[in-house]
């Protein structure tokens, strides 16, 4: 029962972090969160410490906050993504079912509409839904979980930057290449397209003015 409560709090706080509801200067205090969820402090603190272990939060003497990622931190995250993400996407290729392909097409269509309407938030959301579809199919669950965490860490910071029109068009082009590869069940094409996707995401990230100015903002 305690583990279930721990997981509920963990997921609730994680969603707040992923959605951008929690800002860089916000603090989570376990006692306040316990009151919010009508729980004792123990399961709340266990959930928060789990988020610390996964790199989503940092513990301080006054509560838990989002980590301040330096450009070197982000560089290392992208390096890890380049090493593991293409292979993971390729491994998902052969196990995707038709419903997965349909979901990928829907996410891609949503991305197209977002670009047309110049809606950066909707574009990021569609991009994330596209990624989640193939990640769910990756046979190695630990590999998929690791990718999710690394992507989340960059995405959380990315919300402080502006995704401009050319960047949205680039993401759309790369998503199209990935979609074709998945539709054809072509693992090599998916591998190559994922390499390009992560590499260009890194370039766009470090080209963002807010990243250069603040050293902590991000794809």
Sequence spans of domains, the chain: 2-65, 71-214
Model pLDDT for residues 180-191, shown as the tens digit of each residue: 999 999 999 999
Position 2 pLDDT exceeds 60: no
3-state helix/strand/coil string of the chain: CHHHHHHHHHHHHHHHHHHCCCCCCCCECHHHHHHHHCCCHHHHHHHHHHHHHCCCCEEECCEEECCCCCHHHHHHHHHHHHHHHHHHHHHHHCCCCHHHHHHHHHHHHHHHHHHHCCCHHHHHHHHHHHHHHHHHHCCCHHHHHHHHHHHHHHHHHHCCCCCCHHHHHHHHHHHHHHHHHHHHCCHHHHHHHHHHHHHHHHHHHHHCHHHHHHCCCCC
* Mean pLDDT of the 94-104 span: 96
* C-alpha triplet 50, 130, 192: angle, nearest 5°: 100
Predicted confidence band of residue 217 (pLDDT cuts 50, 70, 90)? very low
71: left (phi over 0), alpha (psi -120 to 50) or beta: alpha
Domain 71-214: assigned CATH number: 1.20.120.530
| pLDDT of amino acid 118 | 86
Output the six-digit token pair for 98. Answer: 């038709």
* Mean pLDDT of the 26-38 span: 91
- Give the separation between CA 9 and CA 45, rounded to whole angstroms: 9
Q: Which residue has the higher pLDDT, 3 or 6?
A: 6
* Mean pLDDT of the 12-32 span: 86
Predicted confidence band of residue 218 (pLDDT cuts 50, 70, 90)? very low
Predicted confidence band of residue 209 (pLDDT cuts 50, 70, 90)? low
Among the residue ranges 13-17, 64-68, 211-215, the one predicted with the least confidence is 211-215
Chain-wide mean pLDDT for the chain? 87
Model pLDDT for residues 141-178, shown as the tens digit of each residue: 999 999 998 988 887 766 545 566 778 888 899 999 99
| pLDDT of amino acid 216 | 43
| pLDDT of amino acid 88 | 97
* C-alpha triplet 156, 178, 130: angle, nearest 5°: 40
| pLDDT of amino acid 4 | 59
Q: Does domain 2-65 have CATH number 1.10.10.10?
A: yes
Model pLDDT for residues 193-204, shown as the tens digit of each residue: 999 999 998 888
* Mean pLDDT of the 51-62 span: 90
């Amino acid at each position: 029962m305690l583990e279930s409560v721990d997981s509920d709090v963990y997921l609730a706080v994680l969603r707040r972090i992923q959605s951008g509801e929690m800002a860089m200067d916000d603090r989570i205090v376990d006692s306040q969160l316990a009151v919010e969820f009508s729980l004792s402090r123990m399961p709340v603190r266990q959930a928060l410490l789990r988020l610390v272990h996964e790199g989503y939060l940092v513990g301080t003497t006054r509560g838990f906050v989002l980590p301040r990622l330096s450009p070197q931190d982000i560089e290392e995250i992208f390096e890890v993504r380049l090493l593991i993400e293409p292979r993971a996407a390729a491994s998902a290729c052969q196990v995707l079912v038709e419903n997965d392909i349909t979901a990928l097409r829907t996410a891609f269509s949503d991305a197209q509409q977002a670009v047309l309407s110049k809606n950066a938030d909707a574009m990021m959301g569609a991009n994330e839904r596209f990624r989640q579809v193939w990640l769910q199919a990756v046979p190695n669950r630990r590999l998929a979980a690791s990718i999710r965490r690394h992507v989340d860490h960059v995405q959380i910071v990315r919300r402080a930057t502006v995704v401009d029109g050319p960047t949205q068009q680039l993401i759309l082009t790369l998503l199209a290449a990935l979609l074709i590869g998945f539709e054809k069940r072509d693992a090599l094409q998916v591998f190559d397209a994922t390499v390009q996707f992560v590499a260009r995401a890194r370039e766009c990230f470090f080209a963002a003015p807010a990243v250069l100015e603040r050293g902590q903002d991000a794809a």
